[in-house]
Amino acid sequence: QVQFVESGGGLVQPGESLRLSCTASGAHAFEYRSIGWFRQVPGKEREGVSCISHLDGSTYYTDSVKGRFTISRDNAKNTVYLQMNDLKPEDTATYYCAEDKYLGDYNCEDPADFESWGQGTQVTVSS
């Protein structure tokens, strides 16, 4: 029933930044759901990038983006952000957001623990 819409992707050069947004539409208790960002390259499985908890705002980042990406949320706007700095060509992917399926009992690395996927936004990092 809830639908997430990702936006903010684009074409950038290595070292540049993008800010992705994930906005929930429809009736949804957004503040009670943890949100994950995932990315997928054609021919590869979807992988976890970052998560933010609904409970205490704690965050998770996969090793490859630590120190470069920052996840945050604005519950009043039903939006989660992913600030991506110092982008690298290997960050090129379609980025998706989704909510945790198990109300906190989830693995940020596992797409199967999330639901209500958006359509994705394309991030291309190339010189």
Tens digit of pLDDT per residue, the chain (127 long)? 788 999 999 999 999 999 999 998 875 667 778 999 999 999 999 999 999 998 888 999 999 999 999 999 998 899 999 999 999 999 999 999 999 987 767 899 999 999 999 999 999 999 9
Distance in angstroms (rounded) separating the CA atoms of residues 42 and 23: 24
Question: In this predicted structure, what is the pLDDT of residue 27?
Answer: 59
Across 26-115, the runs of DSSP E, i.e. the strands, are: 35-40, 47-52, 59-61, 69-74, 79-84, 93-100, 114-115
Distance in angstroms (rounded) separating the CA atoms of residues 100 and 71: 15
Question: In this predicted structure, what is the pLDDT of residue 19?
Answer: 98
Cβ–Cβ under 8 Å, residues 72 and 83: yes
